[in-house]
Amino acid sequence: MKKTMNEKAPTTGAASRKRGAGPQLFLKPARERSLRRLHPWVFSGAIDRLEGEAGSGDTVCVRAADGTFLAWAAYSPASQIRARVWSFSEAEQPDENLLRARVSAAIARRQSVMGDANALRLVHAESDALPGVVADRYGDTLVVQLTSAGAERWRNVIVESLREASGCKLLFERSDGDVRALEGLASRVGMLNGEGSAVAEMKPDVIEIRENGIRYLVDIGAGQKTGFFLDQRDNRASVAALARGREVLNCFCYTGGFTLSAQAGGAASVLSVDSSAPALTLARRNVALNALDTARSHWVEADVFSYLRDLGREGRTFDLIILDPPKFAPTSRDAERAARGYKDINLNALKLLRPGGYLATFSCSSGVSADLFQKIVAGAAADAGASCAIEQRFHAAADHPVMLEFPEGEYLKGLLLRKR
Ligand code: SAH
C-alpha cells in the first residue's frame, strides 16, 4: 500500500525507493537542488555513486541521496557533466517515441520565427530538451551536430526524426567540435545516409542561403561550426540599419555577415579583418554574389589583437566598429583569461571610434554572463577615456531560444554603444 502511494507521488514527501532494473545514479546529500529547478546537468562532483552498470550514453535514473526520483539522464563517463537530463518525469523514460516527439516539437516551434530567411536553427540542444543535438537548416540541407554521449547513443532515431520532420533532402553531419572530445567521442563528419551513419567520402557543395535580403554562400563541409553564424541574424540587421554613410571596421568578419549587412545598408566603406584565409575568400565571393561595390570593401588577413594596435599607430578612425570574436571562455573557469581578451579588443576598438560613432560588441562565451561582459566593456571604455551610451542590447535570434532554468543557453550577448 505504502509503496503504491510513493509511486504515484514520487517527487513529494517520502522518497520513492523503487529501484528499477536499470542503472541508478545517486547524488550526494543536498546536491539535488539544481535538478529540482529543472537545470539539466549533473556534474561529477555532485555524484555519490552509480548502482548498476552504465556505458557512454546509456540512460540512468538519477536519484537524490534519499532515493527520491529526480530525472532520467544520459550517462557520460568521460565528461565533467556526468549526465544530461532527458526527462524530469518518472513516467517519461527515454525511448524512440520521446526523442521523436522532442524533435517534432522543436521544429514546430520554429514555424513562427522563419521570416525571410531560408536558413535557421531547427534544434538548439538543451533549449529544446535535446542536450547535445544541434540542427541548422540551410535551404534544403540540414547540418546536424551531435555533441553528447546521449545524443550519440540515440543517433539513428534523432537523425531519422530530423529527416522526417524537417523535410530536408540532404543531411550532413558536423560532429567535430571540441565538446565532442570532452565527451570522449571521436569526430564524425560526412553525409548522413539512411542509417544515420556519416559517410565521409561524399563532399557537400557550398550552399547558397538568403538572410535579411542578402545572399550568402555557406561552406557546410569545412566552415566553422555548422557553416554560418545564424544566431547573429537580427544583429546583422541592426548593424545594416546603422551603416548608411559610415566608415565601418568589421573585426572577426568570418564570411562577411556584418560586412555585407553594412554594405547593403549603405556604408561608405567596410574594412574587414579575420585570421582565416578560407573565410575571407568566401566573404569576397559573397560580396560579388550580391553585386555589392567591391571597391568599398577591403579585406585584411590578420590577428585582430595586433591589427587594432596597427590601426591606432596609423591614426585610423571609424564611425562604426563590429567586434564579434570567437568564444574565449567555453566555461566559467576560463572567464578570467577571456575577460583580458575582451578588454583588450574593446579598449583598442574604442580608441579608433570617432565621437558619435557606434561600437557593436559581442561575446559568445557561455562562461561570461551578460553582466560580466558589460563590466568588462565598461572597464575598457574607462581605460580608453570613452564615455558611451548603451543604445541596444543584443541577443541570439529567436531560433536560438533561452530557457530561464538554463542560463548557459544565453551564450550570445552584445552591446550597441554610442561614443559621446
Ligand atoms: N561575425 C561573423 C562570425 C564571427 S566568428 C558572422 O557574422 O558571420 C569568429 C571569427 O573570428 C572566425 O572567422 C575566426 O576565423 C576569427 N578569428 C578567431 N581568432 C581571431 C583572431 N585572433 N584574429 C582575427 N580573427 C580571428
Q: DSSP character for 167?
A: -
Q: Which atom of ligand 1 is nearest to the CA of 324?
A: 1
CA–chain centroid gap for 62, Å, is 27
Q: Which atom of ligand 1 is nearest to the CA of 326?
A: 9
pLDDT at 330: 76
CA distance 24 to 300: 55
Q: What DSSP element (H or E) covers 340?
A: helix 335-352
Among 217, 254, 308, name the best residue to mutate to test ligand 1's pocket (greatest count of ligand atoms within 8 A of Cβ). 254
Q: DSSP character for 275?
A: S
In order of their start, the domains of the chain are 21-87 (2.30.130.10), 96-200 (3.30.750.80), 207-419 (3.40.50.150)
Whole-structure pTM value = 0.93
* Residue 343 and residue 378 in contact, taking contact as beta carbons nearer than 8 Å: no
For 212, the grid coordinates are 535579411
Among protein residues, the one with the nearest Cα to ligand 1's atom 15 is 276
Is residue 19 pLDDT above 60, yes or no?
A: no
Calculate helix-pair angle for 257-264, 277-289, nearest 10 degrees. 30
Instruction: Please give the angle made by the CA atoms of 264, 269 and 270, to the nearest 5 degrees.
Output: 80
* Residue 268 and residue 297 in contact, taking contact as beta carbons nearer than 8 Å: no
pLDDT at 9: 37
- Residue 366 C-alpha to ligand 1 middle, in angstroms? 17
Among 214, 248, 274, 327, name the best residue to mutate to test ligand 1's pocket (greatest count of ligand atoms within 8 A of Cβ). 274
Catalytic residue IDs:
364
HEC sequence for 10-79 = CCCCCCCCCCCCCCEEEECCCCCHHHHCCCCEEEHHHEEEEECCCCCCCEEEEECCCCCEEEEEEECCCC
Residue pointed to by grid coordinates 590578420? 302
pLDDT at 198: 74
**How many alpha carbons lie under 13 Å from residue 366 in its C-beta half-sphere?**
9
The pLDDT-based confidence of 6 (bands split at 50, 70, 90) is very low
For 332, the grid coordinates are 566559467
CA distance 340 to 356: 26
pLDDT at 5: 37
- Residue 140 C-alpha to ligand 1 middle, in angstroms? 26
Q: Which atom of ligand 1 is nearest to the CA of 322?
A: 1
Among protein residues, the one with the nearest Cα to ligand 1's atom 3 is 254
More confident of the two residues 7 and 308? 308
pLDDT in tens, 119-136: 999 999 999 999 999 999
pLDDT at 100: 98
pLDDT at 16: 42
Is residue 302 pLDDT above 70, yes or no?
A: yes
pLDDT at 15: 41
pLDDT in tens, 228-287: 999 999 999 999 999 999 999 999 999 999 999 999 999 999 999 999 999 999 999 999
Q: Which atom of ligand 1 is nearest to the CA of 255?
A: 8
387 phi/psi in degrees, rounded to 5: -100, 125
CA distance 238 to 383: 27
CA distance 49 to 239: 51
Torsion sign, CA atoms 50, 100, 176, 286: negative
* Residue 376 and residue 364 in contact, taking contact as beta carbons nearer than 8 Å: no
- Residue 323 C-alpha to ligand 1 middle, in angstroms? 9
Is residue 294 pLDDT above 90, yes or no?
A: yes
Is residue 177 pLDDT above 70, yes or no?
A: yes
Lowest-confidence pick of 88-92, 147-151, 154-158, 167-171? 167-171
Among protein residues, the one with the nearest Cα to ligand 1's atom 23 is 303
pLDDT at 311: 98
pLDDT in tens, 331-351: 778 889 999 999 999 999 999
- Residue 243 C-alpha to ligand 1 middle, in angstroms? 20
The pLDDT-based confidence of 64 (bands split at 50, 70, 90) is very high
* Residue 221 and residue 203 in contact, taking contact as beta carbons nearer than 8 Å: yes
Calculate helix-pair angle for 96-109, 155-166, nearest 10 degrees. 40
Among 235, 252, 340, name the best residue to mutate to test ligand 1's pocket (greatest count of ligand atoms within 8 A of Cβ). 252
pLDDT at 201: 67
pLDDT at 1: 35
More confident of the two residues 174 and 21? 174
CA distance 122 to 394: 21
The pLDDT-based confidence of 10 (bands split at 50, 70, 90) is very low
Q: The sheet that has 119-124: what strands, in order across it?
A: 119-124, 133-138, 141-146, 170-175, 188-192, 198-199
pLDDT at 20: 55
Q: Which whole number is the average pLDDT over 80-86?
A: 97
Q: What is the mean pLDDT of the chain?
A: 93
Ligand 1 binding site (Cβ under 6 Å of any ligand atom): 224, 229, 232, 252-255, 257-258, 273-276, 279, 303-305, 324-326
* Cα–Cα distances in angstroms (integers) from residue 316 to residues 306, 307, 373, in the given order: 14, 11, 26
